[in-house]
């Protein structure tokens, strides 16, 4: 009976020894499925009027993700349209010049000023003769002479104004009026563009991962509302030790296997770069030696459709022997 108890520990040691002789799985060949992240934020501030997608939903480029409520846009649009009408009125006035009624009115003012000039001239000559005969004081003569000069100046001013009106508006005035119209139209286009920004559009085919706001909440410019993964940008990321990195080069063909399935994906090594920190390693239990540098290997599928259906950050395995 004692011999039986002595044989049992021996058998257990043999079993453990055989178990330890089994080849260990190379954890270093493990990698992760990666997809480019997409963050969608509004350009203008407004309250969320409607969220049109849900988390986990697949959306396509151009789809409407949400609609913002921006009541200030309508009032600014009215202001812009009013500015356009005013500027166009000034431009038409500059192009068409004065009307016949305005010319008649100006001619009437000129006739009245001419009549006043004639009366002032007659009064001046009479007063001059009387002044020379010492019949009136110098003060009275100076007042009549001043009125004569003022009437003459008024007639000359009205004649110049009539000449300007007859010749038409100056080219500079027309150019300035046309510039005011273009400025007002530009302001309206700016408001219309802001109105389009009420609709938050998907920039690419993507899977919605998270939605930060709900209906009625305030969205500010640049604040990310939707986070997701770009479905057409799937690639594989592996961490390779310094002792094995020389077997991999950019452009080599690599075989990637999806665990628990029979799916095998052909890919190309797109980049090889050294990781700055050991913590950037993606393997859960790496067996690298202390002091070894760690490199990141990026493998891109040759056919994008082969990688469809894979989840971001899921585990994949790399064939340790890439083909040239």
HEC per residue, 25-45: CCHHHEEEEECCEEEECCCCC
Identify the pLDDT of residue 166.
67
Check whether residue 239 and residue 209 sit in a common domain.
no
Check whether residue 223 and residue 261 sit in a common domain.
no
Q: Identify the CATH number of the domain in which residue 210 sits.
A: 2.40.50.100
Regions of the chain with pLDDT less than 70: 1-28, 97-100, 102, 164-169, 277-291, 320-324
255 inside domain: yes
Identify the pLDDT of residue 121.
86
15 inside domain: no
Which domain does 285 fall in, by range? 25-35+233-318
User: Which residue do the tokens 């009387």 mark?
Assistant: 130
Evaluate whether 305 touches 45 at the Cβ level (below 8 Å).
no
Evaluate whether 312 touches 227 at the Cβ level (below 8 Å).
no
Identify the pLDDT of residue 65.
96
Check whether residue 81 and residue 132 sit in a common domain.
yes
Evaluate whether 56 touches 228 at the Cβ level (below 8 Å).
no
Check whether residue 157 and residue 251 sit in a common domain.
no
For 58, phi and psi rounded to 5 degrees?
A: -90, 125
211 inside domain: yes
Identify the pLDDT of residue 3.
47
**Secondary structure class of 224 (helix, strand, coil):** coil
Identify the pLDDT of residue 19.
47
179 inside domain: yes
Check whether residue 237 and residue 305 sit in a common domain.
yes
10 inside domain: no
9 inside domain: no
Identify the pLDDT of residue 289.
61
Structure tokens at 174: 């027309």
Identify the pLDDT of residue 288.
59
**Secondary structure class of 261 (helix, strand, coil):** coil
6 inside domain: no
Q: Model-level pTM?
A: 0.58
Of the candidates 195, 291, 309, 200, which has an alpha carbon nearest to the alpha carbon of residue 241? Answer: 291
Identify the pLDDT of residue 13.
52
Check whether residue 50 and residue 93 sit in a common domain.
no
Q: Identify the CATH number of the domain in which residue 179 sits.
A: 1.20.120
Identify the pLDDT of residue 159.
82
Measured CA to CA, the distance from residue 179 to residue 174 in angstroms comes to 9
Identify the pLDDT of residue 162.
73
Identify the pLDDT of residue 96.
76
Identify the pLDDT of residue 24.
43
Check whether residue 103 and residue 252 sit in a common domain.
no
């Amino acid at each position: 009976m004692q011999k039986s108890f002595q044989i049992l520990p021996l058998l257990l040691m043999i079993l453990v020894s055989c178990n330890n002789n089994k080849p260990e799985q190379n954890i270093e060949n493990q990698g992760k499925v990666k997809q480019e992240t997409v963050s969608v934020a509004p350009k203008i501030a407004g309250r969320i009027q409607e969220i049109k997608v849900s988390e986990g939903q697949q959306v396509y480029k151009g789809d409407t993700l949400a609609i913002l409520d921006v009541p200030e846009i309508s009032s600014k649009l009215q202001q812009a349209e009013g500015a356009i009408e005013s500027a166009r009125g000034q431009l038409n006035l500059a192009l068409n010049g004065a009307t016949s009624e305005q010319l008649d009115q100006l001619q009437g003012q000129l006739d009245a000023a001419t009549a006043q000039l004639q009366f002032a001239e007659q009064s001046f000559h009479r007063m001059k003769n009387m002044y020379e005969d010492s019949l009136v004081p110098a003060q009275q003569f100076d007042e009549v002479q001043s009125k004569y000069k003022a009437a003459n100046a008024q007639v000359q001013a009205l004649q110049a104004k009539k000449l300007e009106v007859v010749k038409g508006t100056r080219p500079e005035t027309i150019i300035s009026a046309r510039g005011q119209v273009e400025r007002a139209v530009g302001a309206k286009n700016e408001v219309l563009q802001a109105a389009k920004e009420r609709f938050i559009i998907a920039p690419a085919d993507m899977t919605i991962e998270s939605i930060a706001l709900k209906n009625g909440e305030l969205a500010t410019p640049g604040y990310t509302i939707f986070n997701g993964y770009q479905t057409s940008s799937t690639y594989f990321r592996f961490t390779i030790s310094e002792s094995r990195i020389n077997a991999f080069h950019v452009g080599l063909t690599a075989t990637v296997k999806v665990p628990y399935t029979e799916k095998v994906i052909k890919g190309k090594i797109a980049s090889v770069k050294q990781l700055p920190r050991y913590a950037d390693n993606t393997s859960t239990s790496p067996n690298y030696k202390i002091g070894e540098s760690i490199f990141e290997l990026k493998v891109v599928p040759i056919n994008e459709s082969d990688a469809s259906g894979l989840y971001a950050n899921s585990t994949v395995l790399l064939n340790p022997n890439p083909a040239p």
